[in-house]
Structure 1
Amino acid sequence: MDALAGLLDGPRARGAFLIRSVFDPPWAVRIQDGAPLTLMSMQRGTAWVLPERGEPVRLRPGDVAIRRGPEPYTVVDDPATRPRAVIHPGERSTSPGGDELCEVMDLGVRTWGERADGAAVLLSGTYQFEGEVSRRLLRALPDLLVLPGEAWHSPLVGLLAEEMTRDEPGQEVVLDRLLDLLLIAVLRAWFSRPSAAPAWFRAHGDPVVGRALRLLHEDPARSWTVAELAAGTGVSRAALARRFTDLVGEPPMAYLTGWRLALAADLLREPDATIGSVARRVGYGSPFALSAAFKRVRGLSPAEYRLQGPAGSGC
């Protein structure tokens, strides 16, 4: 497993919130649901994404945007348009004054808006719990990224749009997996652009550091030392430590700790996993050792992390 594969192996939507929003100008929706990650694509018309900080970003048909939460943002037809609807946690929608809009704007299966054939159609898929997307992936992303439609080619947006309007047995699972695939495809295309690639991705192309990263990702449970890692890459300990830190931004063992805890966070979400089994799989000698490291880095114990996550019922 290479570093990018390891990073992208994390997304696991579980009952993701997917909606097809249909509007006529002027329209504006403020998103303050606190979700860790949202994927958006214009199917028809254009829109602007207005973050709380930073410049507005335009979305054209075929573009895909990924918004990293939990900060609020607004999607509008024109930056001057005032919000007419607000999306809250738990998939609730209201007017800015607090009037419920879920039933008023319901247009059918996973479709919401003013009229079915409106001028603008926005597809949205939201990962609602942080555990569905690894923290390491979230840290690697900017607050808002846009992959232009001409920069990649994939049938996944069209397939997701088609499946969103169906209501068949098992449809929720189909949509979850399609959202995962689309997110992975978009991120892979985005990371491959030289101007967007983070340091660890560029480091993967280095003959020494890239080899070290592959070793760590292929066997994170091994009791690695810098000396063993250096032997595996054919350089001295000092040379590896210096080169790794320069290219990746942190020392090899610090990177390994972050990777192990990211894996642990994903594994802890599995229903049959125990803290002991997770500890063994990611290279900690005991549940206590994993718990101590997990709490030191994340601020809560593995048991507390498993129970974390907002609950809500939407429209």
Structure 2
Amino acid sequence: MDLLSEVIRSIRVGGVGSRLIRQSRGVRFSAFSGSGFHVVLRGSCWLITEDEDPLALAPGDVVLTSSGAEHGLSHVPCALEDLPLAVMGPIPPAPGAFDFEFLCGAYRLDHGLAPQYLRALPDLISVSPDPERDPEMRALVELLRADVSGPRMGTGATLPAILDLILVTVLRLWHERHGTAGWPDTDDPAIAAVLRQIHDDPRRPWTVARLSEVAGLPRTAFTRRFTAVVGRPPMSYLIGWRLSSGARLLRETDATLATIARQVGYSTEFAFSAAFRREYGVSPSRFRLSPAVAALP
């Protein structure tokens, strides 16, 4: 089961944004619902967090905030509260001298949380791609830099695709360097089989009993094993997947609410709407009308 692909599909319902920032001192990013990253382009800086020692960053280094944790970037080691809070909005880079330059990219989930798989990772991940071994990262960063350099036709289509590719590449690199530590164990064949069935056919009237049959395990053992691997009980995960699938369909298609409800496993649009509002805090129609491009700090 390729859970990394599912991570991208799940987080894609958020608004995306990117921005080039130049700093002569430093800046603090408040916590938010979603995921984002920074790529250092020029100069050196330090990653500042509340609880960890400052981490030195060099050009090419990437920091991923897997589930929107508060953090900062500074030209010298310091306390997080000493850094000024970033101003939100599509603000162009400040003119004049600077100590370091970096690109930001983020998926902002105004409704709902980052996928469980990202929330299971450390709050902040740092990777240092090798220019020889990882040339794709350099190419993606150049594409992103060109895309945010000024208004361009087609940015609404290209920006989400580039952010998807950068997120996948960062997670791959981190996973290669750290093995399975901190990453859901997707090598469990029983749980992988269940996830595949849920993802491929969410409309099926699944129960814990039916899912445990797919896994080939007794119900109690299956529930315990599924929860340990995935981080949520089976039915909670199923509901979350149905609703995130519905959110994607709301954003990516013109299908009616009744059609989407049936496609993701709800008998009526009213049942889907009630569940969607509980999960995302807004109605499906309001979610569909909300902007897909987010303002970044």
The TM-score bracket by the shorter chain reads 0.7 to 0.9
1:289 and 1:150 mapped to 2: Cα distance? 50
Larger Rg: 1
1:78-89 map, 5 Å: 78-80=76-78, 83=83, 86-89=85-88
Give yes or no for contact 1:10–1:132 (8 Å, CA) kept in 2: no
Give yes or no for contact 1:66–1:144 (8 Å, CA) kept in 2: yes
Partner residue of 1:126 out of 102, 106, 114: 106
Report what 2:236 is aligned to. Answer: 254
Report what 1:5 is aligned to. Answer: 5
Give yes or no for contact 2:47–2:54 (8 Å, CA) kept in 1: yes
User: CA 1:178–1:224 in structure 2 vs 1: closer, same or farther (change >3 Å)?
Assistant: same
User: CA 1:287–1:237 in structure 2 vs 1: closer, same or farther (change >3 Å)?
Assistant: same
Report what 1:98 is aligned to. Answer: none
Alignment pair present for 1:263 and 2:245? yes
User: CA 1:195–1:54 in structure 2 vs 1: closer, same or farther (change >3 Å)?
Assistant: farther
In the alignment, residue 226 of structure 2 is paired with which amino acid? Answer: F
* Deviates most, 208-217 or 141-150: 141-150
In the alignment, structure 2 segments of 5+ residues that lack a partner are none
In the alignment, residue 251 of structure 1 is paired with which amino acid? Answer: P
User: CA 1:76–1:141 in structure 2 vs 1: closer, same or farther (change >3 Å)?
Assistant: same
Alignment pair present for 1:165 and 2:149? yes
Q: How many residues align?
A: 290
In the alignment, structure 1 segments of 5+ residues that lack a partner are 92-101
Give yes or no for contact 2:10–2:115 (8 Å, CA) kept in 1: no
2:247 and 2:268 mapped to 1: Cα distance? 16
Report what 1:233 is aligned to. Answer: 215
2:95 and 2:128 mapped to 1: Cα distance? 25
User: CA 1:66–1:271 in structure 2 vs 1: closer, same or farther (change >3 Å)?
Assistant: same
In the alignment, residue 18 of structure 1 is paired with which amino acid? Answer: S
1:30-179 map, 5 Å: 30-32=28-30, 34=32, 36-68=34-66, 72-80=70-78, 83=83, 86-91=85-90, 111-115=93-97, 118-130=98-110, 135-136=115-116, 139-150=119-130, 153=134, 154=136, 155-165=139-149, 168-179=152-163
Alignment pair present for 1:182 and 2:166? yes
In the alignment, residue 286 of structure 1 is paired with which amino acid? Answer: T
1:242 and 1:208 mapped to 2: Cα distance? 12
Show CA shifts across 1:8-47 (max 9, x none): 22344888443323345xx212334957332101122221
Query: Quick one: percent identity of the two aligned structures?
Result: 34
Give yes or no for contact 1:134–1:266 (8 Å, CA) kept in 2: no
SS at match of 1:208: helix
Shift in Å, 1:65? 0.9
1:269-280 map, 5 Å: 269-270=251-252, 272-280=254-262
User: CA 1:23–1:252 in structure 2 vs 1: closer, same or farther (change >3 Å)?
Assistant: closer
* Deviates most, 301-310 or 284-293: 301-310
User: CA 1:38–1:248 in structure 2 vs 1: closer, same or farther (change >3 Å)?
Assistant: closer
Shift in Å, 1:77? 0.9
Give yes or no for contact 1:190–1:197 (8 Å, CA) kept in 2: no
1:241 and 1:71 mapped to 2: Cα distance? 30
**Normalising to structure 2: TM-score of the pair?**
0.78
SS at match of 1:88: coil
**Normalising to structure 1: TM-score of the pair?**
0.74
Give yes or no for contact 1:135–1:262 (8 Å, CA) kept in 2: no
2:218 and 2:294 mapped to 1: Cα distance? 53
2:286 and 2:160 mapped to 1: Cα distance? 25
User: CA 1:41–1:233 in structure 2 vs 1: closer, same or farther (change >3 Å)?
Assistant: same
User: CA 1:225–1:309 in structure 2 vs 1: closer, same or farther (change >3 Å)?
Assistant: same
